[in-house]
Amino acid sequence: MSHSLAIDARGVTKTYGDGDLAQLVLKGCDLTVPAGEFMMLVGPSGSGKTTLLSILGCVLRSSDGHVHLFGERISGVRESELPRLRLAYIGFIFQGHNLIASLTAEENVAFQLQMRGWSPGDASREARRLLDRVQLGGKYKRLPAELSGGERQRVAICRAVAGNPPIILADEPTASLDATNGQLVTELLRELAREQGHTVVCVTHDNRIFSLADRIVRIEDGQILGEGAGSHAA
């Protein structure tokens, strides 16, 4: 197992429920993602892509199989260890931005930095730098409700990359955005990932942004069906 692999998932299976009600959602998925890759995981609704993303993001446990992040095994670790792993490896971007409504744009980003050990002053400066980077320079003190959908998702991107976690997991980041904003946000995510060396796994069924991926992996009915190179593949 090489540490140049950001994600190494083998035989990942997930079953919800027991007995007759058991529902097999993932059926032995194998997936590897090299460090620094911008990968898109695509498939129809109910194909298991979000479940796989949740397992890779240490927010859900697999029923079977192994997952390693940069060589560290995350499957089978104690429940209480998972928050540490999430802090160490993962930056999340959610479908609905999921910013904390009572915190300003700057505070939402700084919160993540402070949880990663940054002092409040440094966290605030870094949050502003990141917000400047996504053209939200004048909106540090705005609450999420005072921002447009595209702006909120840009704040969410800043929060995800804050502190420079090696892996960014994005769940349908363009789902609530119009075509223009969807393209802009994905391009921004790609740029930031390039600049800072993040590995990105982006779950989407928005074919307008497929062209931005290094690689596209298809999942259907709980199984990885195949892959193809995105337009940005080297």
Partner 1 sequence: MTPQGPPRAVPMAKPLTGRAPLWLRWKTMARVAWGMMFHQKLKLAGTLFGVVFATLLANQQLGTFLGLLYKNQMYVKNAGADVWITAPSVQQLPPGRTISDAALLTARAMPDVEWADGVLIGAATMQLPSGGSEPVTLVGVNATRLKGGPWNIVAGDAGAIAQPDTIIVEDAEREKLGGLNLGSRRELNGHRVTVGGITWGLLPFGPSYAFADYEFARRLLRTDRDQMSAVLIGVKPGADPQAVAAQLKAALPDVFVRTGPEFEESIVNYVLRQTAIGITFGTSTVFALIVGFVIVSLSMLSSVVDNLREFGTLKAIGTTNWDLTKLLFVQSMTYAVIGSVIGLGLVTRVAGGIRSPKLAMLLPPQLVFGSIVVMCVLCVLASSLALLRIRKLEPAMVFR
Would you tell me which residues interact with partner 1 (CB under 8 A)? 4-6, 30-32, 34-37, 50, 53-54, 57, 59-60, 69-70, 72, 80, 83-84, 86-89, 91-92, 94-96, 98, 100-103, 107, 111-112, 114-120, 159, 163-166, 171, 194-199, 214-215, 217, 224, 227, 232-234
Distances (CA, A) of 160 to 8, 20, 116, 164, 169: 21, 39, 12, 8, 8
> Shortest gap between Cβ of 8 and partner 1 (angstroms)?
8
**Toward partner 1, which CB reaches closer, 111 or 210?**
111
**Toward partner 1, which CB reaches closer, 20 or 112?**
112
> Shortest gap between Cβ of 172 and partner 1 (angstroms)?
9
Amino acid identity at 48: G
| Structure-token pair, residue 100 | 């904390």
* Per-residue exposure over 179-203, b if at least 16 CB sit within 10 Å of its own CB, e if not: eebbbbbbebbbebbeeeebbbbbb
Amino acid identity at 97: H
Backbone angles phi, psi at 138, to 5 degrees: -90, 10
> Shortest gap between Cβ of 82 and partner 1 (angstroms)?
8
**Toward partner 1, which CB reaches closer, 185 or 213?**
213
- Give the containing element (helix H, strand E) for 6: strand 5-16
> Shortest gap between Cβ of 84 and partner 1 (angstroms)?
7
